[in-house]
Amino acid sequence: MDAQDIRAVDPGCRGVTVGVVGTSARAAVMSLARAGYPAWAVDLFADRDLRRLAPCARCPAGDYPAALADLTAPFPAGPVMYTGGLENAPAVVRDLVRRRPLWGNGPEVLEQARNPFALADRLGSQGVLTPLLIRPGSHVPPVGRWVRKAFRSSGGYGVSWAGPGEIVPAGFYAQELVDGPAMSAQFVSSADRTILLGVTDQLVGEGWLHAGPFAYCGNVGPVPVSADLRETLTRVGDVVGGWAGLRGLWGVDFVLRGGYHAYLIDLNPRYTAALEVLEHASGCALIAAHAAAFDTPFPEHAREYEPTAPPFPRKQAGESGSVVGKAVYFAPRPLVFPSQGPWDTDIAGEFDPWRLPAFADVPFPGEAIVAGSPVLTFFAADSTPAGCRAKLERRAADLDRLFQPPKAEPELTHDAERTREPGGGRAGADRRPVPG
């Protein structure tokens, strides 16, 4: 299967309903809709736009991720796939596998893929660059800059600075910080080969989004790459996909030095947040290739569940700009989500999965959001990566003005009196970080 053939992939399984579980399911549910699959979801938020797209259940934060598999029980028979965060919970994935066909990498594959030392050894043996790593119990070297990463980290959470000479604690490792632009590459693997789907710039720790220093906060792409970098990434895909036994969609985060030296930072062995950027930019329902990679033997009764509408046609690439960007806006202060805003257009009207929304992952009015937590996602399109990023930054500035704190009331004096009524509003659960 060649990259140009992916647009034509039809796995012939559109008579099933696909489940999506993870920290945030909305992006994958929309990808499935672009390929013509009806879906259901279980995640931490059950945001307004997700509820509009699919039946869903919200997993209480205190029960996440252990309760996910039990929460899938009421939904239709058929396959399930997972999104960011569950690559760090192989026991939960094992529980899912016992209940349903899995469109994703199983627990044994995850144990291998998420071992950073084994991955670095394998890549190094094939001439692929990786940062230096320090094991738990060892001292951080006095030379260079280092970060401390949890073995179960995702989306930049569980990552912090590591000081020279400190002992790396249990459950963590230290990784050399490599200077250069943060990027990501997306792949799809079948039983016999791996295809490079596209490359994006990655937004990490952006101050204009009020993100923490290492937090994932978006992608812009696809970005043009040199022939040398494409050759390097193709080799990464072949080496990693074959070594770990990966199937379906997956991605890597890397830092670019010198134009084509790609230092692999993380392996994400599942559907990634960058996929919807590439789908909107290319007009290609890449998740159809993900489904085709598994040839899942569905239960006979799964054929009862027909799509509620015929498959949506694939959009012609370039309709809204050849480069698409998404960014996650983090709360600059504690706030309560308002009852109205510029996202209302994306919540109302007829749903078209190929229309690039202005906003997504939209909370319900009155939901309490703590400072530093993600509020929502927003999008932009342009003919160049730089132009797309500039549009994202302008939209972030608009959100800053929208969410700015209310003006302080003037102090009451003997010349003026004001009746103060207690504040109200429905407060939901605090928002949690959304891995990429």
Phi, psi of 433 (to 5 degrees): -60, 145
Of residues 375 and 426, the one with the higher pLDDT is 375
Is 13 within the bounds of a domain?
A: no
Peptide bond into 222 cis (omega under 30): yes
Is 296 within the bounds of a domain?
A: no
pLDDT band at 154 (very low <50, low <70, confident <90, very high): confident
pLDDT of residue 408: 58
Is 237 within the bounds of a domain?
A: no
pLDDT of residue 219: 98
Domain that holds residue 159: 132-176
Question: Which is it for the CA torsion 359, 360, 363, 364, positive or negative?
Answer: positive
Residues 235-245 have a mean pLDDT of: 95
Is 423 within the bounds of a domain?
A: no
Residues 155-178 have a mean pLDDT of: 93
Of residues 378 and 315, the one with the higher pLDDT is 378
Q: What angle do CA 13, 18, 20 make, to 5 degrees?
A: 150
pLDDT of residue 155: 78
Total domains present in the chain: 1
In the predicted model, is pLDDT for residue 435 greater than 90?
no
The pTM is what? 0.86
Of residues 87 and 314, the one with the higher pLDDT is 87
Is 155 within the bounds of a domain?
A: yes
Residues 62-70 have a mean pLDDT of: 95
- Tokens for 418? 């004001």
Residues 99-127 have a mean pLDDT of: 95
Is 331 within the bounds of a domain?
A: no
In the predicted model, is pLDDT for residue 313 greater than 70?
no
d(CA 65, CA 43): 9
pLDDT of residue 63: 95
Is 62 within the bounds of a domain?
A: no
Is 33 within the bounds of a domain?
A: no
pLDDT of residue 436: 60
* % of the chain at pLDDT higher than 90: 74
pLDDT of residue 294: 86
pLDDT band at 16 (very low <50, low <70, confident <90, very high): confident
pLDDT tens profile 349-401: 888 999 999 999 999 999 999 999 999 999 999 999 999 999 999 999 999 99
